[in-house]
């Protein structure tokens, strides 16, 4: 696949980017190198290669869910600048 100025401009339009002529030349060269690399990878025989789903052999490694003591609601609210019996009071930030 050949990268041309029209392709670079189309990608720039889709990404809503603007490039000067020097940047377009550099981007065209970079894109051409990437496409050449991917085309080279397509030459490999991958018929007996299983898809890679995880980069490590670890799967679903989670910590055990344990109930631990926590502070009470009253303790959590005692230093609040403004609170009700159950909640923190915060200033209204949505204006109509």
For residue range 55-80, what is the model confidence (pLDDT) as tens digits?
877 777 788 889 998 998 888 888 88
| Domain assignment of residue 36, given as a range | 5-41
Does residue 83 contact residue 77 with C-beta atoms inside 8 Å? yes
pTM score over 0.85: no
Q: Is residue 21 part of a domain?
A: yes
Q: Is residue 58 part of a domain?
A: no
- Taking 3-state DSSP, the helix, strand and coil percentages for the chain, each rounded to the nearest 5, stand at 40, 0, 60
Q: Is residue 25 part of a domain?
A: yes
Q: Is residue 66 part of a domain?
A: no
Q: Is residue 49 part of a domain?
A: no
Q: How confident is the model at residue 50 (pLDDT cuts 50, 70, 90)?
A: confident
Phi, psi of 51 (to 5 degrees): -65, 145
- Structural domains of the chain, count: 1
| Closest residue by Cα to residue 31 from 46, 48, 15 | 15
CATH of the domain at 9: 1.10.20
Please tell me the distance from the alpha carbon of residue 29 to that of residue 5, in angstroms, as a whole number: 11
Q: Is residue 11 part of a domain?
A: yes
């Amino acid at each position: 696949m050949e990268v041309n100025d029209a392709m670079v401009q189309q990608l720039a339009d889709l990404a809503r980017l603007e490039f000067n002529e020097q940047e377009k030349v550099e981007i065209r060269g970079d894109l051409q190198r990437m496409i050449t690399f991917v085309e080279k990878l397509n030459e490999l025989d991958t018929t007996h290669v299983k898809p890679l789903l995880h980069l490590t052999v670890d799967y679903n490694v989670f910590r055990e869910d344990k109930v631990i003591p926590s502070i009470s609601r009253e303790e959590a609210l005692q230093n609040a600048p403004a609170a009700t019996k159950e909640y923190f009071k915060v200033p209204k930030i949505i204006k109509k």
